[in-house]
A and B are shown apart, each in its own frame.
Chain A
Amino acid sequence: MTLRSVVEVAWQALERNLSRSLLTMLGVIIGVSAVITTVAIGAGAQVSVQRQIANLGSNLLVVLPGAVTTSGARSGTGAVSSLIPEDGLALVGLDGVDAVTPMVMVRSQVVGGGTNWNTVIQGVAPTYSHVRNWDLSSGTFFSESDMDTTTKVCILGTTVVNNLFPGQVSPIGQSVLIQNVPFTVIGVLQSRGQTGFGQDQDDVVLVPYTSAMKRLTGQTYVNNLMISAKDGANLDQVQAAVTALLRQRHRIVPPEPDDFSVRNMQDIANAAAATASVMQLLLIGVAAVSLVVGGIGIMNIMLVSVTERTREIGLRMAVGARSRAILEQFLVEAMVLSTGGGLIGVVLGTAITLIIAILANWPMIVSPMAILGSVVFSALVGVFFGYYPALKASRLNPIDALRFE
């Protein structure tokens, strides 16, 4: 028998029981579409992490205060006030360090344009624009002299502009109240959109960090230090130098642990990517289990089908089918079920991916490897779980099979 006629015969048999065939495929359909969707989500996560690195700048180091142990109790990062602005200034001269900005953060209501908006106030140095590689769309950045005189000026992110001054040409020169302190708008940041984690980067107000500390928070410490390394500098070396200098400044002697931590954006990105891929593996594992369950479903239906069609098998043998032809027929039927389910699953999974991508505004990439892999795997599931029923059919004795009631 030619391959074509084998497939033809198998197809005819499945067509005769179309609804049952579709239900049998369901397990594989669900499994494969789950694999496709999961892999697409994972690939999307990876892409957004990469976008984030590009946004933040991969040469960025962040120094966070904290992780000190006091009387045996370990605090988390950011929980203590060990970093002061002078730490930041001291880092400027270090080898490989390009620019540094301290950052003070406070969430606050901002009043302006006849309305108000809750946003994040970031107290930063003029170097911020350079460190974050983030320019203004209009206006000017505050200067070093603004720092010294704790001037009440601010720069708005586009989200804040849109909420406080909708429809206006430019908010520059307008006044906004932050915790009842009037600040004059001197610039607007370029729009950056969301981070990979869905955070709106444009929902921010920048003020001189000295003004923030003195007029808004009253704190003497900063929330973090952002450092940009020089192009081509070895991040690990810069990180080590920063750590050594800060330990010295904080008078920490071995074996005392650091009272701060230095994060390298690349590390953070890698950690995020690693988390995403572990999640992805987990989900693929679950999807694979559902494929195997789908395979068992196929075996079950094929066994029922062999019993139900015993007389048909007997007849086929009587009119000249070799037992190999019967084996092939049932094997191909199982494979058509599983591969067909796989193909439908690919279509369904791609559709689900597209819908999620549109609804969640989350980049998703349907990978050709995932498609190929899951179709091949589902075909193998068909062979594996179809073999036993097919063997059973091919070993029937034609006389008994013809008499079967």
Chain B
Amino acid sequence: MPAVVRTEALTKIYGIGDLKVTALNGVSTTIEPGEFVAIMGPSGSGKSTFMNIIGFLDRPTSGHYFFEGQDSGGFSSDTLADMRSRKLGFVFQSYNLLPRTTALANVELPLVYAGLREARRREAAETALRIVGVEELAPHLPNQLSGGQQQRIAIARALVNNPSLILADEPTGALDTKTSHDVMGLISRLNREQGITIVVVTHERDVAAYARRIMTFRDGRIESDLANAPAVKAAT
């Protein structure tokens, strides 16, 4: 089975002329199926840029990115959109749920763009909500839900299309400590029980502690890349 993510000398330079900023400077790494990776590093270290590129939201200036063995170099923007639709799930710090739209419809959203019919969308969305343990919230609107509940809905949305990789950008950034641990417990359970490859970007050491591998970025490079014995917490 090919690595989910393999990068070779990934470089990203923003701006032109004298104003050039090197966000990523030759990052080469591999993430195997089933891994749970935390990416840490200060602001401007390149961790978000790295995540955007492996999430097909951005393209590298140079270097190669192989997704499940496939070189993404020649992908058109439509192909990138299709990859996001079929292979990836995103979890954001601010949840990014559609307002005035039910939890169920929010979870269905990626499948709308994958072209699934309504009955199958609904079935898959209900399954995803059940996996994250909030099926009873299906008819609720985001503004009726707590932060933790909204993030669970967002996680259900990320896994509704059975992705090869879920990318979470500061998923606990807007949550209190207890809810943060609940959400991280859920994410690590998805990794263990569903076998989904997960990459979490975070500032917080105790959030990163859930991962089995911690990469630290600094100045556009990987400063350290260490295995981690995850703190075993009660899965929710």
Contacts and interface: CB of A to CB of B under 8 A. Distances in A.
A315 B77 CA distance: 16
A321 B57 CA distance: 12
B114 interface: yes
Given A16-B100, A311-B96, A399-B52, A320 B113 contact: yes
A320 B98 contact: no
Interface residues on A, range: 20 to 34
B96 A5 contact: no
B115 A319 contact: no
B92 A402 contact: yes
Contact of A319 (B78, B84, B105): B84
A324 interface: yes
A210 B188 CA distance: 114
Given A16-B99, A16-B100, A399-B57, A316 B109 contact: yes
B113 to A, nearest CB: 4
A322 B80 CA distance: 8
A325 B112 CA distance: 10
A320 B105 contact: no
A322 B92 contact: no
Interface in A267-317: 311-312, 314-317
Contact of B90 (A5, A16, A318, A321): A318
B86 A402 contact: no
B101 A319 contact: no
A324 B58 CA distance: 18
Interface in B73-132: 77-78, 81-82, 84-86, 90, 92, 96, 98-101, 105, 109-110, 112-115
A1 B112 contact: yes
B52 A1 contact: no
Contact of B105 (A12, A318, A321): A12
A150 to B, nearest CB: 88
Interface in A313-356: 314-325
A5 B55 CA distance: 25
Contacts of A399: 52, 57-58
Given A320-B81, A321-B81, A1 B57 contact: no
Nearest to B95: A315
Interface string A1-41: 11001001100100010000000000000000000000000
B157 interface: yes
A363 to B, nearest CB: 48
Contact of A315 (B52, B82, B96, B112): B96
Contacts of B85: 319-321
A398 interface: yes
A312 B98 contact: yes
Given A12-B105, A398-B57, A399-B52, A316 B113 contact: yes
Contacts of B115: 1-2, 5
Contacts of A12: 101, 105
Contacts of A8: 112
Contacts of B114: 320
Nearest to B112: A5
A227 to B, nearest CB: 75
A319 B110 contact: yes
Interface string A153-173: 000000000000000000000
Nearest to A16: B100
Among A2, A316, A320, A398, the one with the most B-chain Cβ atoms within 10 Å of its Cβ is: A320
Contacts of A318: 55, 57, 84, 90, 96
A402 B96 CA distance: 8
Contacts of A322: 77-78, 81-82, 113
B224 to A, nearest CB: 26
Given A1-B115, A399-B52, A320 B82 contact: yes
A320 B115 CA distance: 10
Given A1-B112, A315-B98, 5 more contacts: A318-B55, A318-B90, A320-B81, A320-B85, A325-B113
13 contacts: A16-B100, A312-B98, A316-B113, A317-B81, A318-B55, A318-B96, A319-B85, A319-B157, A320-B86, A321-B81, A321-B85, A323-B78, A325-B81
